[in-house]
A and B are shown apart, each in its own frame.
Chain A
Amino acid sequence: MVVGSMKSAMALAFTGLLVASVPAWSAELDVNELIQASERASYYAGDDGRSDARMMIVDAQGRKQLRQFTILRKDVADNGDQKMMVFFTRPADVRDTVFRVEKHAAVSEDDDRWLYLPALDLVKRISAGDKRTSFVGSHFFYEDVSGRAVSEDTFTLQEETDSRYVLKAEPKNPDSVEFSYYVVEIDKTTKIPMLINFYKANGENYRRVEAVEVETIEGFPTVTRSKVSDLASGGYTLMEFRNMDYNLGLEDDIFSERSLRTPPMQWLK
C-alpha cells in the first residue's frame, strides 16, 4: 500500500475513464474499487518493469548511509502475485547481494524470499516471519517495497478534498502489525498514495510515508522520489528512482534462483 516505484497503464486508463464519465464518483465512492486501483497504480504498473533505486538513510543524528540497487519486477496478475528481484550495487562491499521475492497476494499465503550473499557464497531462503522489518537498515519496511496487500486492512473514507481521497485503514489482524491504524491520502487523478501517516493506539503519529515527486513515465504516473520518516527519532530515508522502464518483456527465468549467482546483466545496466 506504499509508494512503490511502478504503476499501471490499466489503472491509469481505468481511472481516466471513471473520472471522465462519472463526475459524481465521490458521492458514492466505492472504497474497495479505489484502493484496488491505488494498489495497481503503486505496484502493478505495466506487466513488468525495472528501476534503479538510490536510498539515502539519515539517522536521528544526521549520519548517512547509502544503498543502491536495481529492481526488476514481473506481475503474475494485477492485484495478484508478483515476482521481484533486487540487485545491490552499493555500498561496494555489498555489491551483487540479491533478494529474490515471490509475492503472494493471498493473505493466507506467505511470500517466498531468497537471499544471495556473494562474499559468503551463500543462497539462503528467508522465512517470512514478519514483513514489517527494516529493508536493509532503512526506514522502509520490506513490506513498503513489495507492497502491503490492500486485503490486509479495512478502509473507510474519511474525507475528500479537491485533489485527494483521505482514507483510514485498520488492520484486519492487529497482532501482526505495529500500528493501530493509518491514514492514507490518495491522489484523485493518479491514484498514487501521496501521504500515509501511521498511528499508535494512543493516537501518536510515529511514522510517515510520502511520495515526494511523481512523474509520468511511459504513460504511467510513477513515484520518482519517496520518503519514509521515523517521527519519533527524526531519522528518515529518502529513496530516488531513475531509469524506469515498463513492459520490457522480462522472461520468467530472470526471476529464478539461477539469477542470484548470475545476474541478468542486460537488464541491470
Chain B
Amino acid sequence: MSSLLLRFATQCAGWVYILLLALTLGAGAMIPYLTVDTDPENMLPADHPARIFHNQTKQTFAMHDAIVVGVVAEQDTNGVYTPETLSEVKQLTDTILDMDGVIDADLMSLSTVDNISQAGPGTIRFEWMMDKAPVDEAGAKAVEQNISRLPLLYDTLVAETGKAAAIYVPIADKNESYRIAEDIRAAISKMGSQQQWYITGLPVAEDQFGVEMFIQMGISAPLAGLMIFILLFLFFRSLPLIIAPMVVAMATVIVTMGIMIGMGFTVHIMSSMIAIFLMPIAVVDSVHILSEFSDRYKPGENAGEVISKVVSHLFTPMLYTSITSSVGFFSLMLTPIPPVQIFGAFVGFGILFAFLVTLVFMPAYVSRMSDKTLVNLQQALHGEGDGQSRVAAIARSIGKLAMSWRRGWLVVFSALFAVSVWGITQIQINDNPVRWFKADHEIRVADRVLNENFAGTYNAYLVFSDTNAVPSAAALIGVDVPEELSGWQWDTLKSVTEQPPTAALESLIIAIDDAMFTVESDEAVAYLDELVARAEQALSVSKTFQSPEQLAYIADLQQYLATTGLVGKSNSLSDVVKVVNRELRGGEEKDYALPDSPQAVAQTLLQYQSSHRPNDLWHFVTPDYRESLLWLQLTSGDNQDMTAATKLVAQYVDEHPLPAGIDYQWAGKAYLNVVWQENMVAGMLDSLLGAFIMVFVMMVVLFRSVVFGVLAMLPLTITIAFIYGLIGIVGKDYDMPIAVLSTLTLGLSVDFAIHFLERARAIFKETNNVSATLEAMFGEPASAITRNALVIALGFTPLLFAPLVPYITVGVFLASIMAISALVTLLVLPAAMSLLHRFVFKSR
C-alpha cells in the first residue's frame, strides 16, 4: 500500500496539493461555527444520575445560578454598617433589579429581604430589612442589630465581622452572566464608592474561563507553531524544507478542528488544547523523514527516489508510532467524561490524519524541490558548527554516558522506579475549578476575599426525601359509595388517578367540598364527612417535613456539621421555623427552638409565608412537604473538602439512622465536581491500563518478540511512574489535567522506544555486532530521537504563557515527560539491550 501511495505522491504531486488544500479549506470553513462550552457540569454526561438529580434539585427548590457581588469596608470601624455603604448597597441593588435577565424575586440583598422583629410587647412586626438606606449611624446600627438576629441571613448577606456585605444575583440564563456582570461593574464604577467591590460566582467564573480559553487558543497555539518552526529551522537550516512539516501540522490542526466543530461538538477546556497537542505530534514523522533524507541525499541524486526510499524505510516505525500515539489518545474514550472522550477521539484522529498526510505530502513536496534548493540544503546541513551537529553531539555524549555505565543505569532506574511507586501511593486526589485561574486573577481574589469574610460561597445541597407511600385517594374513596354519589365517585376517581398522590388527596378534598353543596341524602353527607376527615388526616400525615421530629433530625445534623470545621454555615427549614417561632413567642433566645407539633410548625410557616418573599420557603421544602433541602455553604471548593463532608454525613447517618423511609441525596456544584472527579480517576485508570495492554500487544506484534515488547514498554513505564511518583512526593494535587496526561504520555513516549529498537534491530542485521550496533545507534537514530523529543517538549512550552492553570500544568508536565522519556530511552535501552543481548540480538 505504501509503495502505491508513494508513487502517487511523487508522480502526481499537484494532485496531492489540490486535495490537501480542498480538504483543509472545506474543514476550515466549519471553524467559524465554533461554540465554546465552559460549564464544568458538562464533565458529566447529560444523563448522569448525579447531574440529573442536581438539576432537578435546582428546579425543585429554585436554587438558581447566581452572581455574587461583595463589598468590603476594611478601614471603617463600623464596617459596612454606615449610611454611605448601606445606601450604596441599596442603590446598586435597585440598579441590578432593573437589569434584564435577573430573577428579581430571588435576589438577595439587605434591601430585598424581610425582617421579623418585636414591635413592643406582644406585637410582631414584618417589614423590609432595609427598604430605604439609613440616614444616620443609629439607623445603620439598627440594620446590624436586625440582621444579626436572623441566622438565615447573617453571615450570608453581611459578614459576622461586619466588614463585608453581599448581594446574590440569581440569573435566568448562565450565558448572560458576562453581560450582567459587566453591567454591574459599570454600575459600581459609576457610584464612585470608597469601598472595595468584588464580583464572583460560578457563572461569572465560567464566562471568564471561556474568554481566557479563546486567548489561550489564539496565542498559545500560534506560539507553539512558531516555536516548532524555529526549532525545525535550527535543525535543518532550510526554509523550503521545513515548510513541509509546517504544512502538515497546519493542515492537521485545521482539518481536525474543522471536523470536530462541523460535527457539532462544542469547544470545551479539553478540546481547546487539541491544536496545541496536534501541532508538535504532527511534525514528528516529518522530522524522522527529513532527518534520514538529509543524511542519505547526495547532490545529483533524484530527490523523488531518495525520499521514496526513506519513506518506505520508515513506514513501519512511523505507522506503529502513529498507531500507538493514537491508541493512547483513543483510550481516553474509556473515561466516562464527555469532554475528555471528545478530546481523545479527535487527537487520535488527528494523529492518524497527520501520518497519512506526512506519507503523501512529504514525498510530493520533496520530489518537487529544485536541485538548487537541495544543494543549498545539503551545504547547510553538512556545514560546520550548526544545530544539526550540535544535536548529534548531544546524542553522542548521551551515548557515551549510556555505554560507559550500563549496569549502573539499570540500578539507578530500578531504585528510582521503587521510590516512584512509593510516591504514587502518596498522591492526593483533589481539584477545584476556581483554582483553574491563576492566584492573582480577579476571580481568585474575589473568591478568596468573599470566603474569608462570609460563611462560604461554595454550595452543596443535601436533599432529604420521604420515600414512604402516600395513601392513595382512590383507595380512600373505596368501592362502597352511597347510591347518590356514584356519578361523583366515577368523576373523582378519574381525576385523582391522573395526579401525584398528595395533589390527588387535595383534589379529593376539594371534590368532597363541592359535593357537599349538592348532596341531599344523610347517607351521602355522612359518607362525605367521614371521607373528608380521612383525606385530611392522610394529607396531614403525608407532610413529612412539617413534623418536629424530622426537623430536629436536620437541626441536629446541622449542629454536628458546624463542629466539623468543614461547613461554614448550613441553612434549613428548621432554621426558618425556629426564627419565626422565637419572634412569635416574644423574641427571646430561649424560644429559638422547634415547636412541638406539626400543626404548630404549619402555623409558624404560614406566618413566614405572609412576608414580601413567600416563595423563600420553597428553597427549603417542597409545597407537599415531602422533600427538604439542607443548604451547606463551604468556604473551600476543594473536592477533598467536599468529599470529607460527604463522608462525615454518611458516618453521621450511620450512627444516627434517618427516620424510616427517609432518604438523602447530594446535589450542588461542589458535589458534582466530586462526582466527575471520581469518574475521572477511575476512568483514567481504565484508560491507562487499556492503553498499556494494547500498546504492549502491538509492540509484541510489531517486533514479533515478547522481549522487544517488554523493552519497548520499559522507558515509558519508568517515565510515567517517575512523573506520578514525583507528583505524589511533591504534594501537587492530582487534578483533571494531571489525570489526562498519564494516558497520552504512554502513547507519545513509546515512540522513542519504537524508533530506537527498530533501528537497532535493522543496524544489527547489517553489522551483526552488538557493540557496533549500539555505537551506530548514537549516530543518526539517537539524533532523530533527540530532535523529536526537543520538538515535542519545546512545542508544548507556549502553554506556559497561558492565562489558565490547567494549560500551564499540561505544558510543564508534557514537556518534562517528553524530555525524561527520551533520556530514559537513550540510557536504559542500550544498557538493557547489551545486558540481555543473548535474548535481544539473535544471530541468524
Select one of A64, A90, A133, A232 contacting B611, CB under 8 A: A133
B-facing mask of A224-268, CB < 8 A → 1, else 0?
Answer: 000000101101000000100000000000000000000000000
B132 at the interface (CB under 8 A from A): yes
Interface 1/0 per residue, A112-156 and B, CB below 8 Å: 000101111011111101101111111000100000000000000
Contact A92 B540 (CB under 8 A): yes
> What is the bound-complex CA distance between A135 and B611, given in angstroms?
8
Alpha-carbon gap, A240 to B329, bound state (A): 66
> Does B75 sit within 8 A of A, measured CB to CB?
no
Stretch among B138-146, B433-441, B614-622, B768-776 lining the A interface: B614-622
Q: Which of A60, A63, A202 has the most CB atoms of chain B within a 10 A radius of its CB?
A: A63
B623-A63 in contact (CB<8A): yes
Asked if B600 contacts A120 (CB within 8 A), the reply is yes
- Central interface residue in B122, B128, B599, by most chain A CB within 10 Å: B599
**Contact present for B506 and A130 (CB under 8 Å):** no
Nearest CB in chain A: distance from B613 CB, A: 8
Q: Is the CB of B509 within 8 A of A66?
A: yes
Q: When the two chains form the complex, which single residue of A68, A134, A202 contacts B609, counting CB atoms closer than 8 Å?
A: A134
Instruction: Give A233 to B615 CA distance when docked, in angstroms.
Output: 11
B119, chain A: closest CB distance, angstroms = 4
A63-B622, A124-B122, A134-B609 known; A129+B602 contact, CB < 8 A: no
Among B125, B603, B606, max chain A CB count under 10 A is at B603
User: Is B607 at the interface (CB under 8 A from chain A)?
Assistant: yes
A134 with B623: in contact, given A119-B603, A124-B123, A126-B126 (CB under 8 Å)?
no
**Number of residue pairs across A and B with beta carbons under 8 Å?**
124
Instruction: Give the CA-CA distance A64 to B536 in the complex, in Å.
Output: 16
B13 nearest CB across to chain A (Å): 66
Is B496 engaged at the interface, CB distance under 8 Å to the other chain? no
Contact (Cβ within 8 A) B132 A175? yes
Chain B interface category by residue count:
35 or more
Residues of chain B contacted by A137 (CB below 8 angstroms): 606, 609-610, 614, 617
Is A65's beta carbon under 8 Å from chain B? yes
Q: Tell me the nearest residue of chain A to B506, going by C-beta.
A: A66
Specify which chain B residues have a CB less than 8 angstroms from the CB of A136 in the assembled complex. 606, 609-610
- Is the CB of A34 closer than 8 A to any CB of chain B? no
Give residues of chain B (33-66) contacting chain A, Cβ–Cβ below 8 Å. Answer: 59-60, 62
Total chain A interface residues with beta-carbon distance under 8 A: 43
Cβ-based interface call for A217 (8 A) = no
A130 interface neighbour in B127, B536, B623, Cβ under 8 Å = B127
Q: Are B615 and A93 in contact (CB under 8 A)?
A: no
Find out whether the CB atom of B602 lies under 8 angstroms from the CB atom of A127: no
Q: In the complex, what residues of B have CB within 8 A of residue A175's CB? A: 131-132
Query: In the complex, which residues of chain A have a beta carbon less than 8 angstroms from the beta carbon of B611?
Result: 133-134
The CA of A179 and the CA of B513, in the complex, are separated in Å by 37
Do residues A133 and B612 form an inter-chain contact, with CB atoms below 8 A? yes
Nearest CB in chain A to that of B122: its residue: A125
Structural contact, B612 and A134, CB atoms closer than 8 A: yes
Given A63-B623, A134-B614, A233-B105, A118 and B603 touching (CB < 8 A)? yes
- Select one of A61, A92, A127, A130 contacting B123, CB under 8 A: A127
B503: shortest Cβ distance to chain A, in Å? 6
Quick one: closest B residue to A56, CB to CB?
B510
Q: Contact check, A64 vs B119: say whether CB atoms are below 8 A apart.
A: no
A120 touches B603 (CB 8 A): yes
- Indicate if the CB atoms of B509 and A90 lie closer than 8 Å: yes
Within 8 Å of chain A (Cβ to Cβ): is B803? no
Task: Decide if B584 is an interface residue (CB 8 Å cutoff).
Answer: yes
Chain A residues with CB under 8 Å of B615's CB are: 59, 235
Contact call A93/B125, Cβ cutoff below 8 A = no
Q: Pick the residue among B503, B546, B600, B618 that contacts A64 (CB under 8 A).
A: B503
Given contacts A59-B615, A65-B623, A66-B509, A91 and B105 within 8 Å (CB-CB) = no
Q: Given the complex of chains A and B, what is the CA–CA distance between A60 and B604 in angstroms?
A: 23
Q: CB within 8 A of A125: which of B104, B124, B610? A: B124
Set of chain A residues within 8 Å of B509, measured between Cβ atoms? 66, 90
A38 within 8 A of B: no
A137–B614 CA distance with the chains assembled, in angstroms: 5
- Minimum C-beta distance from B651 to chain A (A): 34
21 A-B residue pairings within 8 Å (CB atoms): A60-B62, A63-B623, A68-B513, A92-B539, A92-B540, A93-B598, A93-B603, A94-B599, A117-B604, A118-B599, A119-B599, A119-B603, A120-B584, A130-B128, A133-B610, A133-B611, A133-B612, A134-B611, A137-B617, A138-B614, A233-B105
**Inter-chain pairs besides A66-B510, A119-B597, A124-B123, 12 sampled, C-beta below 8 Å:** A61-B59, A63-B622, A94-B599, A97-B606, A115-B124, A117-B600, A119-B602, A120-B604, A124-B124, A127-B125, A130-B128, A137-B609
Q: 5 shortest A-B CB distances, which residue pairs?
A: A129-B127, A137-B609, A93-B602, A119-B599, A127-B119
